[in-house]
Amino acid sequence: MSPYLCRELTRPLVTKDGGTLRTVLDARAYMLALPKGRETTAQWQRAAELLLDGATVADFSKAVELALFYDAKLDVSNERGAWTRTT
């Protein structure tokens, strides 16, 4: 296995479909399991391009996080410092 795939993402990305992406390998596996309708979006295509090019882990992490956000699959409910409404 490539050492690049073992690298940790800049932070764990918790998904609303029940997973946590911690490494480049985790993100790659998640991307390979995407349904066709999601994998062909510009955001996932960009993440795939960065993965294939061996981009920095920081750039790849940002691209995956953005793609998850656009898909409404990024779980931000437990984010530290997340804005919460108080009444």
Read off the pLDDT of residues 64-77 as tens digits, 9 standing for 90 and up: 999 999 999 999 88
pLDDT, residue 84, reads: 45
Residue 47 belongs to some domain of the structure: yes
pLDDT digits (tens, 9 = 90+) for 5-55: 999 999 999 999 889 999 999 999 999 999 999 999 999 999 999 999 999
What is the spatial distance between Cα 66 and Cα 6, in angstroms, rounded to a whole number?
21
Residue 83 belongs to some domain of the structure: no
Residue 77 belongs to some domain of the structure: no
How many domains does the chain divide into? 1
Residue 61 belongs to some domain of the structure: yes
Domain residues for the domain of 30 are 3-70
pLDDT over 50 at 82, yes or no: no
Residue 62 belongs to some domain of the structure: yes
- Model-level pTM? 0.86
Nearest to 45 by CA among 71, 17, 16: 71
Residue 1: pLDDT band (50, 70, 90) is confident
pLDDT, residue 79, reads: 61
What is the spatial distance between Cα 52 and Cα 10, in angstroms, rounded to a whole number?
18
* Bridge partners for 13 per DSSP: 21
pLDDT, residue 78, reads: 66
Residue 80 belongs to some domain of the structure: no
Residue 28 belongs to some domain of the structure: yes
Residue 87 belongs to some domain of the structure: no
3-state SS assignment for residue 12: strand
